[in-house]
Copies of this chain bind each other. A is one copy, B any other.
Amino acid sequence: MKLDPSVYVLIDPDQTFGHEPVALARAAAQSGATLIQLRDKRGAIRPAIELARAMTAALAPLGVPLLVNDRVDVAMAAGADGVHLGQDDMDPATARRLLGPRAIIGQTVKTAAHVAALPPGAVDYAAVGGVFATLSKNNPEPPLGLAGLALRIAALKARKAGLPVVAIAGIDAGNAGDVIRAGADGVAVISAVAKAADPAAAVAAIRQAVDKAVEEARGAR
């Protein structure tokens, strides 16, 4: 499936705040999410495969790809559309070899060395974390903030022109436009959707904020 990382919704089965994970994925995809990630940190592979299969089945008719966090084996077993890899997961070149040319592969990049190490053609997008303070993850470093994010993205794009960059951590409808204006091609969100009483409305609001910032950026060019 084609990659559009503009509104990227991560779903963690341990952090759905009462929402059923597959229903959450479906609601997000129907409300403007362009990419869904299953971020399953429970550790057991059989339930992870089962959930990834159910999400893939729910999302395929909607044309929204499902990526699996960390685990290439779970993605392959479930027939998901790709993976998102951290720096400690399988290296992207090996993952590309196993998943094939049509899979979507993203990687978290934290340092200039990570950017330099991105293997040509293996990665379809890069993710920059720690933008704002977040409840979903323990980040030891202070948040980048918007100026820090802008510099990080500019440095990344200077090295890898054309590589889409998504930003993550503490993003919601209120700051998503700022993140796009800082140079991100997409916003990745977890709590802003999962914690919402109406996740579909939360995704729609983020979608609207992103679209508005993208249009402004087009108008300014």
A residues bordering B, Cβ < 8 Å? 44-46, 49, 71-73, 76-77, 88-91, 94, 98
Cα(A71)–Cα(B77), bound, Å: 12
Q: Which residue of B lies closest to A85 (CB)?
A: B45
Most B-side CB within 10 Å, residue of A71, A88, A90, A98: A90
Most B-side CB within 10 Å, residue of A45, A89, A98: A45
Q: Closest Cβ of chain B: how far from A114's Cβ, in Å? A: 14
Residues of B within 8 A of A46 (CB): 88-91
Cα(A71)–Cα(B89), bound, Å: 13
Our pick among B45, B76, B88 for the contact of A89 (Cβ within 8 Å) is: B45
Residues of B within 8 A of A71 (CB): 73
Q: Closest Cβ of chain B: how far from A162's Cβ, in Å? A: 28
Q: Closest Cβ of chain B: how far from A64's Cβ, in Å? A: 24
Tell whether, in the assembled complex, residue B49 and residue A77 are in contact, meaning their CB atoms are under 8 Å apart. no
The 10 closest A-B CB pairs, nearest first, are A73-B73, A77-B94, A72-B73, A76-B98, A45-B90, A77-B90, A45-B89, A73-B90, A44-B88, A77-B98
Residues of B within 8 A of A88 (CB): 44-46
Cα(A89)–Cα(B45), bound, Å: 6
Q: Closest Cβ of chain B: how far from A75's Cβ, in Å? A: 9
